[in-house]
Structure 1
């Protein structure tokens, strides 16, 4: 569908606005589909993101700033997200005995098992969202979007 149809305009859009509006609408579509896929598991996209970050640590703890740096959404309240994951017993927080200001977060075995359970659901959702693109188009689109990340 053309972006002009989505925003219901018959005015020509400058190419840069057309691109940015398309990205924003696509982002919303992706977020809606990912949220819907995660809903039965009672987990939000930012919580899922934190779990994947911690799994990527391969058993090594991460502090809150490391997690925040790697978050897809920099607007997320990492402390609140980690607290929710602790309540669900997917992560643990350890306060360093020598330096009480140093807090380390690790994923639990329950968290790893949970990710293993929902990975196929996320894989299927991602495949469904990108099924209209060829492998070459996926690579080209990814490369072009990464140019905007400066």
Structure 2
């Protein structure tokens, strides 16, 4: 993808800026494809991420702080995400018996079942997005991305 063509400029963009814009364009494209894959489930990428985090807790409850720390996309509206998942019956929220100020969140069996179906669709989408890369190229790309300062 030629960044200058993509953003419709005739001027050559300095390498550092072009690199950042390129990464942003790729990230937006990935998000768009994942959002399309999840649309039939009426769930956002962030809600999907919350469900995966809760599944990874292996039955142990999580709190909002845990979810915020582990989210791929850091956001301040985790409470709203959890509220929407509660309305769908995918998660439950309880007050911690030993600390009434602490809220515990668990994924429900309905949430686990639905997440399994989403996993298949997301996995296929990820494979389609990356099928032009060899395993070696993906490892190299990950090594380069590990060097990125955020």
RMSD value over aligned CA atoms? 1.2
TM-score, normalised via structure 2 length: 0.95
Alpha-carbon shift at residue 139 of structure 1 (Å): 1.0
Q: For residue 110 of structure 1, what is the aligned residue in structure 2?
A: 110
TM-score, normalised via structure 1 length: 0.95
Q: For residue 64 of structure 2, what is the aligned residue in structure 1?
A: 64
Asked if residue 31 in structure 1 is aligned to residue 31 in structure 2, the reply is: yes
Asked if residue 81 in structure 1 is aligned to residue 53 in structure 2, the reply is: no
Alpha-carbon shift at residue 149 of structure 1 (Å): 4.2
Q: For residue 121 of structure 2, what is the aligned residue in structure 1?
A: 121
Instruction: Indicate the SS of the match to 2:9.
Output: coil
Counterpart CA distance in 1 for 2:62 and 2:144 is 31
Gaps of 5+ in 1: none
Alpha-carbon shift at residue 76 of structure 1 (Å): 4.7
Q: For residue 5 of structure 1, what is the aligned residue in structure 2?
A: 5
Alpha-carbon shift at residue 98 of structure 1 (Å): 3.3
Matched residues, number: 150
- Contact 1:46–1:76 at 8 Å: present in 2 too? no
Per-residue Cα deviation, 1:5-43 (whole angstroms, up to 9, x for no partner)? 101223222221111011100111011100000000100
- Contact 2:68–2:75 at 8 Å: present in 1 too? no
Gaps of 5+ in 2: none
Q: For residue 144 of structure 1, what is the aligned residue in structure 2?
A: 144
